[in-house]
Each structure stands twice: as C-alpha cells, then as structure tokens.
Structure 1
Amino acid sequence: MTADLSARQQDTCILLFAKYPAPNKAKTRLQPALGVDGAARMARQLLLHSIEQAVDTGFAVELCVSPAPTDPCWQALDLPESLRWSTQANGDLGLRMLIASQQALQRFKKVVLIGADCPSLTTARIQTAVQQLNQHDTVMIPAADGGYVLLGFREIDDSLFSDIVWSTPSVAAVTKQRMAALDWTLTLFDPLHDIDEPKDLVHLPSSWLDSQLNIRVDND
C-alpha cells in the first residue's frame, strides 16, 4: 500500500448501508415487474456494483449491514477482504445512520453515507463528492425521488436524522433545511436515480439488461 493510499484510507470512510439481497426481503417493490427471484437478483447486482464503485475510490469502505456480518449469508457473496464491517443498530433508518456515522467519525475525519440503490453513483462521483469536504461542511447527491444517494460530512448532528419521514419526497429538502439551521455549508450535486420501483428500471445501465439479469425493460 502506498503512503498516499494509506493516508486517504485513514482520512475518509465510505459507509455503505446494505441488507442481504435475499428473495422476498430485498427490493420487494420491484417484484411486480421482476418477480421474487428477479428482484433479489437486482438487489444483489446493485449491492455488488455499489461495493465495487466504493472500493475503487481508494478510501476505506465499511459495510453497515443487516443481518450481522457474522451471518453465513454474507460469505456467499465473496466480497473484497479490504472491507470493514459493522452491524446496523436497532431503530428506524435515521437512528441507524446516526449511530453508524457517530462511530465512524471517531476513526475518520470525513464520512460519506451511501446506499446500494443507485447504479449511476460511480467511483468518480464519490471521489468528487469527497473532495468537496475539504472546503465545505457537507455534501449531498440527491435522488430524483426526493431522497439522497450520498450524504457526506465532517461532523454530525442528531437533527440530520431525527423526525424525518424516510422514503418520502421530502427527505433531501428537510435535510438541507436542517443543515442551513446549523449554518453548515453544503455542496449540492445534480440528482441521480435510485432503482426502487418498476418505473425506475429505465434508468438501469444497458449492460445490466438481459445478459446479466434476464430483465427486459419497456422504455416507452
């Protein structure tokens, strides 16, 4: 490992929230279009893609997962040995992200939260977002549905994750309001598309269709 890479890994953590892509437990909203097995395959593909893009940044990558890392299911994915692992806390999504972020900030100067839902969240986009934390308190890449696909910061406040109705179109807007109330500077990027519902499948990379997932999408 080079000195530069080692410094980057000690400075920044990409905190990836994920649950195991099990049938009937992951991406269930896609089942009307893909079926039970197809939705699980999509969840798996999205997770592996997100991990690959995060690892390729050169920053430390921590998977915050459900079920716990000790569950045998994770061994089936043959993931990179460089990954750090943690278990998602109990509670709603906000509390789980808050606790994971607080723990990560005890070890890193910058933390970037991402999920495993956005195929267009690439290595380059993550790296560009992290760079903004050198000059700004926070960085966000919104999701087209009103949430966010990336949230980065150098310190954390409970208000960013409390009293928010998750998985609704107001999440990013409320989060930005909370940042403004804290007088934190924010770099905001253009929105990207999550893959959550059948209508989102048109935003998949063309290379994912048919050949890897046996999925056909009507673009009309």
Structure 2
Amino acid sequence: MLQSSMNSKQHLIIFTRYPEPGKTKTRLIPALGILGAANLQRQMTEYTVSQVKELQKATGISLEVRFTGGNLQLMQDWLGLGLVYQSQGEGDLGLRMARSLFDSFQSSMEQVIIIGTDCPGVNSQILTQAFEQLHTFDLVLGPAIDGGYYLIGLRRLIPELFANIDWGTSQVLQQTVDIAEELNISLIYLPALADVDLPEDLPIWEQVFNREVGLSDN
C-alpha cells in the first residue's frame, strides 16, 4: 500500500472550457460550424478525462477539472458527479494556472501537473512518464509543435514561470524555458505533440477518434 499513499500526493489538473457553441474552438468554426466546433471541444475533453481515469486506476493520483464558461451544474451534468470541479477564475492563462498550482501545493500535494484538452496525444503513458520525471526534475514540459506546451508539471509553485508570457503565441515554450534557465530550475521535456487548434490540425484528432471508436466496437 506504500505505493498509493505516495501517489496521493500526485495531483493532475485538467484545464478546459464548457463546450458552449460559439465560444469554444472558435478558430475551427469556419471548418466545422459553431455546433461542430463545440462538439469537438466536448469530445476532446471527454477523451482527456478518459485517459486520466485510466491512469488513476493504475496509480491513485487525484484529479480536478478547472473550467471556464458554464457553471458547476453544467459541468457535473456533462462529465458526471465523480469529478472535482473548480472555476479557473479571473485573469490571463498564466494567472489561472498559477492559482490552481498554489491551491494544490497549499493542499500538501507534492507533484502537480496541468494539462489542457487540445492535444489528443496526451494519453495515460505520457502522464505516467511526466509524474515519474517529477521525482528527479523540478519542471516537466510537454512541448506542443505550435510553440506552446500541452503539459507543465512542478514540485513547487514557481510563479515566475507564469508571468510575462505571451500566451497563445508560438513563443510560450521558449519564454518559459528561458525563465527556468535564469532561475536554474532543472527541466526535462516530454515528447513533442500536436495541438488541434486549426482546420489543418483536424486529421490528428480524427485519427485518435477513429481508433477509440474502433476499440469500443470490438
């Protein structure tokens, strides 16, 4: 049982948005329409949650969903009562991530990882790897091919990593790494993965989705 008591100090936070048509995945609306873009957001979030639940079965990590849009009732109706939900609150992405990390470390968590739902390559294996790396490194980053990151993991809150970053640009990863190097923070990368943000990214999701459907049909 030693294993699970250790892992109870490992915490995973999923950042997502309630899939309200017209307010989510807006860059995909030209390709998918308002409803299609919201539906994609819904499916990708559900897929991410399913991957984390796989990991939970094996490791006993704790999980929370930090959301924007919608409200607690809508989130529970959508993803079920079995999850912990928390609003992301005000501020830019950096402030919202720093707040969620602060809350987690205040609750005596020792390893905290934040992921979004835009990157279908984030599966239970990648997440397992990320938590393992946090035994050795202060900072784990999952580079997104567009220059951002799909995952950040820390052993303590380092607020500097979330300040003065040009969120939503191709500079995010590099700016974060530059700050980490200035602060002498030990850092390791996970495999680079692709986000699904633009119409040309859709085949990445279709591949995963078709595989999932295929598995559930068997």
Q: Same fold (TM over 0.5)?
A: yes
Q: Deviations over 1:115-165 (max 9, x none)?
A: 011111001101111100001111111100000000001012221111111
Equivalent residue number for residue 95 of structure 2: 95
Specify which of 57, 62, 65 is matched with residue 64 of structure 2.
Answer: 62
Give 1:204 deviation, angstroms.
1.7
Give the Cα–Cα distance (whole angstroms) in 2 for the partners of residues 5 and 50 of structure 1: 22
Equivalent residue number for residue 171 of structure 2: 170
Considering only aligned residues, what root-mean-square deviation do their CA atoms show, in Å?
A: 2.0
Equivalent residue number for residue 40 of structure 1: 38
Give the Cα–Cα distance (whole angstroms) in 1 for the partners of residues 200 and 121 of structure 2: 16
Q: Deviations over 1:38-59 (max 9, x none)?
A: 1011000010011111222121
Over 3 Å counting, the alpha-carbon distance change for 1:159 and 1:207 in structure 2 is: closer
Answer whether contact 2:13 2:66 (CA < 8 A) is retained.
yes
Q: Does 1:194 align with 2:192?
A: no
Give the Cα–Cα distance (whole angstroms) in 2 for the partners of residues 85 and 119 of structure 1: 21
Q: Deviations over 1:11-32 (max 9, x none)?
A: 1110111110111011111011
The percentage of aligned residue pairs carrying the same residue is 32
Match runs of 1:100-139 below 5 Å: 100-107=100-107, 108-139=109-140
Answer whether contact 1:68 1:87 (CA < 8 A) is retained.
no
Give the Cα–Cα distance (whole angstroms) in 1 for the partners of residues 132 and 55 of structure 2: 11
Runs of 5+ in structure 1 lacking a partner?
Answer: 213-220
Give the Cα–Cα distance (whole angstroms) in 1 for the partners of residues 48 and 81 of structure 2: 12
Give 1:80 deviation, angstroms.
5.8
Give 1:206 deviation, angstroms.
2.3
Give the Cα–Cα distance (whole angstroms) in 1 for the partners of residues 51 and 81 of structure 2: 12
Over 3 Å counting, the alpha-carbon distance change for 1:78 and 1:68 in structure 2 is: closer
SS of the residue 1:152 aligns to: strand
Over 3 Å counting, the alpha-carbon distance change for 1:6 and 1:49 in structure 2 is: farther
Give the Cα–Cα distance (whole angstroms) in 2 for the partners of residues 195 and 100 of structure 1: 24
SS of the residue 1:204 aligns to: helix
Give the Cα–Cα distance (whole angstroms) in 2 for the partners of residues 120 and 17 of structure 1: 16
Answer whether contact 2:75 2:85 (CA < 8 A) is retained.
no
Give 1:199 deviation, angstroms.
1.2
Give the Cα–Cα distance (whole angstroms) in 1 for the partners of residues 206 and 139 of structure 2: 29
Give the Cα–Cα distance (whole angstroms) in 2 for the partners of residues 188 and 7 of structure 1: 23
Answer whether contact 2:111 2:154 (CA < 8 A) is retained.
yes
Equivalent residue number for residue 151 of structure 2: 150
SS of the residue 1:54 aligns to: helix
Answer whether contact 2:46 2:79 (CA < 8 A) is retained.
no
Give 1:6 deviation, angstroms.
4.7
Answer whether contact 2:142 2:191 (CA < 8 A) is retained.
yes
Aligned length: 208
Answer whether contact 1:194 1:200 (CA < 8 A) is retained.
yes
- The alignment's TM-score, normalised by the length of structure 2, stands at 0.89
